[in-house]
């Protein structure tokens, strides 16, 4: 069953040229329907409206799967709490040393908070699954949510539901990308990263404005906006045609 939730998290930032008109929604997988990007799920809290099926003291488990993986990975278990319970900024129950406390849920006592003991940190597209249990141990309900963690340095297209176009730069181009740019040309094993992943990193790194972005926005900005300036500065002038080819895929994974 699908249950609408409030995800307590910070909204990620995304770069757009000043001439670009914000789009309301983009991407094949409609991530904007039920997630925020950037630092989503940082404190591991999902909040649900309190009702007969969703209450405090319910046992639950969090699991996730990344990208095209078919296997769910365990994040841990816990017990649900009232939404007006005080927690720290990381979602933990306070200790004597805790500061900057807040209510677990924006809606306070009208909500029930399910706090994950761990959160996945790798960039990419996830399915986060919350399974709540009755007192007798039977499953009360299961809730899946698509979540996109926008981060630079992704090494494998397996982190995403759709592989990026198979495009690579020349060896000399990779060798000339400066590590000081913050864009990694190689994987941790020394292999060349997909060119579209490098273009994606530049788009993410330039994040300055909340909003949505389309492939056309990126193409226009690559040709004559700040995005194009960033691509030229980090990779070189010859990377602009590649940035345009990668734009539809990149736009799918930005919000």
pLDDT digits (tens, 9 = 90+) for 94-151: 887 888 899 999 999 999 999 999 988 888 778 899 999 999 999 999 998 877 777 8
Model pLDDT, residue 4? 36
Model pLDDT, residue 39? 53
Model pLDDT, residue 120? 85
Rounded distance between C-alpha atoms, residue 20 and residue 55, angstroms: 45
C-alpha dihedral (17, 19, 23, 29), degrees to nearest 10: -30
Rounded distance between C-alpha atoms, residue 11 and residue 212, angstroms: 12
**DSSP code, position 157:** G
- Quote the tokens at residue 94: 């306070």
Task: Specify whether the CB–CB gap between 26 and 251 falls below 8 A.
Answer: yes
Q: Which comes out higher in pLDDT, residue 64 or 68?
A: 64
Q: What mean pLDDT do residues 57-81 have? A: 93
List the beta strands (DSSP E) in 13-54: 45-49
Per-residue pLDDT for 17 more than 60? no
- Output the CA–CA distances (angstroms, integers) from residue 38 to 26, 108, 127, 166, 174, in the order listed: 16, 25, 16, 25, 26
Q: Output phi, psi for 81, to 5 deg.
A: -135, 160
Model pLDDT, residue 110? 94
Per-residue pLDDT for 224 more than 50? yes
pLDDT in tens, 155-185: 776 677 677 888 999 999 999 999 899 899 9
CA-closest candidate to residue 126, choices 45, 46, 79, 63: 63
Residue the block writes with tokens 């990026």: 164
Task: Specify whether the CB–CB gap between 100 and 68 falls below 8 A.
Answer: no
Adjacent-strand bridge partners of 131: 61, 142
Model pLDDT, residue 121? 81
Q: What mean pLDDT do residues 189-199 have? A: 93
Residue the block writes with tokens 């406390």: 101
Q: Which comes out higher in pLDDT, residue 100 or 210?
A: 100
- Quote the tokens at residue 251: 């736009």
Model pLDDT, residue 99? 81
Model pLDDT, residue 21? 28
Per-residue pLDDT for 30 more than 60? no
């Amino acid at each position: 069953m699908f249950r609408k939730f409030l995800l307590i998290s910070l909204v990620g930032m995304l770069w757009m040229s000043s001439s670009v008109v914000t789009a309301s929604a983009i991407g094949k997988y409609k991530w904007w329907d039920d997630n925020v990007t950037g630092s989503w799920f940082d404190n591991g809290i999902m909040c649900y409206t309190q009702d007969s099926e969703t209450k405090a003291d319910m046992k639950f488990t969090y699991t996730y799967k990344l990208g095209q993986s078919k296997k769910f990975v365990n994040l841990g278990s816990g017990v649900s709490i009232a939404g007006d319970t005080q927690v720290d900024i990381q979602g933990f129950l306070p200790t004597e040393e805790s500061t900057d406390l807040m209510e677990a849920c924006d809606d306070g006592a009208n909500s029930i908070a399910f706090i994950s003991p761990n959160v996945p940190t790798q960039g990419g597209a996830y399915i986060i699954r919350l399974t709540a249990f009755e007192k007798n141990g039977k499953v009360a309900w299961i809730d899946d949510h698509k979540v996109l963690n926008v981060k630079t340095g992704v090494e494998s297209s397996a982190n995403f539901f759709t592989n990026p176009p198979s495009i690579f730069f020349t060896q000399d181009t990779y060798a000339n990308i400066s590590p000081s740019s913050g864009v990694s040309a190689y994987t941790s094993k020394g292999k060349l990263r997909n060119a579209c992943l490098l273009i994606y990193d530049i788009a993410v790194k330039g994040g300055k404005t909340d909003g949505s972005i389309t492939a056309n926005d990126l193409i226009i900005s690559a040709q004559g906006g700040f995005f194009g300036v960033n691509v030229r500065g980090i990779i070189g002038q010859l990377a602009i045609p590649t940035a345009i080819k990668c734009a539809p895929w990149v736009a799918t994974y930005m919000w």
